[in-house]
Chains A and B, each alone.
Chain A
Amino acid sequence: MRKRSPGGFTLVELLVVIAIIGILVGLLLPAVQAAREAARRMQCSNNMKQQALGVLNYESAYKKLPSLQSGNGNIVQTQQRFCMSGWWEILPYVEGQTIYDQINRLNNGFGLEPWNGNAAYRQRVPWLECPSDNGTDEPVNAGRNRGLTSYAFCVGDNMAQSQITGQGTEERNNLALALRKLPIYNRGMFGRASYHSLGHVRDGLSNTIMLAERQRPNLVNTKGTVVLIAGDPATYSPLSCKAQLINGREYINAGLLFTGDTLPGYRAWAGNAYFNGVSTILPPNNAVCMVGTGSVSPHWFAGIWTPTSEHGGGVQIALGDGSVRFLNDSIDSGNLGAVAPPVSGGQSPYGVWGALGSKAGGETPVDYE
C-alpha cells in the first residue's frame, strides 16, 4: 500500500465526501420545507380551535348556536337583513368586542353592510387567517377585499343558498317576501337565522362537522374560486361540478369562473354561504360551484361550497365537540352521482363525508381516520 502524505486527502476521498454531503442536503431540504408547512398547519388548526371555542362559548351564553347569516335590516338590495356572518356573532366570545362595537356603530338605521368599504368592515383578525393561504389582495377586483377569512361554517350536504328564490322572483327584489324574514335551514349545523340548540345535533357533536377550511384563492383560475353552472339545484349531480377542476388545482374552463365580484375569503363579515359556508357534498379540494339558471346573483344563490386548503392532501375540520382533525381528500364520499338531498332528506348519499356534515341524518358513526 502506498504511503499517504500526512494530513492530505486523495481526490476520490474528497469526491465521496462531497457526494455524501450532497445526498444529505438533498434529503434535508424538502424536510425543512415540510416542517415549515407543518408549522403553518399547526397554527391554522389552532385558529380553528379558537373559533370552535368561540362558537361553544356563544352557545353557553344563549343556549343556542350562532347562525351562519344574521343581522338587522331588510334583505332587499339597499337594506339587507341576514347579511352578517357567524364570525361577527361570535366576536364578543373571542376577545373581539372592540371590532364588534365598531361594526355595530355603523348601523345607522339601514342595516349592516359587510360589502361596504368602511374601515370597520376591512378589519382583519389573525384568528380568521390560515397562514398557509397567501392571498391578501382580491385577485380580480382590486381593492374589494374586506376582512379576510380561511374558514367557514358547515351547512351540511344540501345545496345551501343565502336567499329565498323560486318562481322567477329573488327575495332581494321582492320587499313583501323579504319582510317575512324567513329562516333558511340546512342539513348542517348552520343556516340563515337558524339558531339551533345542541340538542338538534342528533348525530352527536363528535360526529358532526362545525367548521372547515375554505382557502382564500390568490389567483383567479385556481381551486377555491367559484365556477358558475347553468342547472337546477334540485336535479343537479355533483359529478358535473367535479369535472370542472382538473389536475386538482386548475379550472378547465376559465370562462365559467365568477369574476364579476368579490371572491370567497375576502369578505369575512358577510354571512352568505358563498363567503362563509362549507358543504360536505364533494370531498375536500374539489371544485366550488354555484348552480342556477337565468338572471342570478352568485353571492346569494345555491351551490356546492367545497372545502379547500393549501396543506396538500386534505383539509382541517372542527367537530361540534371542539376537536380539530385533518381529513384526507380520499375520504369516502359515497355516490356522487346522486342529487343532493332536501333538508328533511334522511341519510346522506355522500358516504362518511356527507354523514359528518349532516347534523341529524341518522347515519351510523364509522371510523374515518
Chain B
Amino acid sequence: MQRQQSTNSLATLALLCLVWLPIGCNGKKLPTIVKAEGIVTLDGTPVENATISFISEKTDYHAVGNTNAQGKFSMRVARSEYNGKIGACPGDYKVEISKSTIGGQQGTESTGETQVTLRNDLPSKYASIGSSDLKVTVPKEGSDKLNFELTAK
C-alpha cells in the first residue's frame, strides 16, 4: 500500500515537471499580424525574384517579401521580434518593388578585382518610394489579393 503511494507521488512530480517547463516564456505584446500576399506582374507576366518592401510612414513596422516563380509573395514584418513569421501589420504603406539581376561574374587573380553588370529588370521608378506611386492598404482581416500590376511604360 505504501509503495503504491510513493509511485503515485513520483508520477505526480513528473507530471508537474512537464507542466512547469513551458511556463518560462514571458509574452511581450506585439502588434498582431495578418496575411498579406499577392502577385507581381509586369505587363501581365508574373515577375520572379522581385523584392517588395511595404514602408509605413506612421509606424516602424515595415514589411518585406520576395516573389516566387509564379510571381507570388508573402510579406513578413521586418523586425526581429517576429522571428520571420509570415504576415504584416494592418495599415497603409508605400511600396517599393525591384528585381536585381547580375551579368557575368569572374575573378582576375592579377589585380584581384572583378567587375559585374548589375541591372534592375523592373522600371526604376518603382525601386524607391521617392519616385514610386504604388500604395497598399493591408486590411484588418488580411488579404491574399494585394496584386501589383506594373507597366514597362
User: Interface on A for B, CB 8 Å cutoff?
Assistant: 1, 12, 16, 77-78, 113-117, 141, 144, 172, 228-232, 235-237, 239-240, 242-244, 246-248, 252-253, 255-256, 258-262, 283, 292-300, 329-330, 334-337, 339
Contacts and interface: CB of A to CB of B under 8 A. Distances in A.
A115 B114 CA distance: 12
Interface of B: 2-3, 7, 10, 49, 51-53, 55-57, 60, 62, 64-66, 76, 78, 80-81, 83-84, 96, 98-102, 105-107, 109, 111-120, 127-131
B51 A244 contact: yes
B98 A255 contact: no
Given A239-B62, A240-B53, A299-B113, A330 B118 contact: no
Contacts, number: 139
A107 to B, nearest CB: 16
Nearest to A330: B80
A315 B73 CA distance: 31
Contacts of A244: 51, 66
Given A258-B116, A298-B114, A336 B106 contact: no
Query: Which applies to chain A's interface (DSSP): helix, strand, loop or mixed?
Result: loop
Given A296-B118, A335-B60, 6 more contacts: A16-B10, A77-B111, A248-B83, A258-B105, A337-B55, A337-B57
Contacts of A335: 60
Given A237-B128, A293-B120, A116 B112 contact: yes
A330 B109 contact: no
Contact of A78 (B60, B99, B107, B111): B111
B51 A243 contact: yes
A229 B97 CA distance: 12
Given A230-B118, A293-B119, A239 B84 contact: no
Contacts of A260: 105-107, 114, 116
Contacts of B101: 230
Contact of A255 (B3, B49, B107): B49
Given A239-B64, A330-B81, A334-B60, A297 B115 contact: yes
Given A116-B112, A231-B98, A243 B64 contact: yes
Nearest to A270: B112
B2 A1 contact: yes
A239 B100 contact: no
Contacts of A300: 113
A248 B100 contact: no
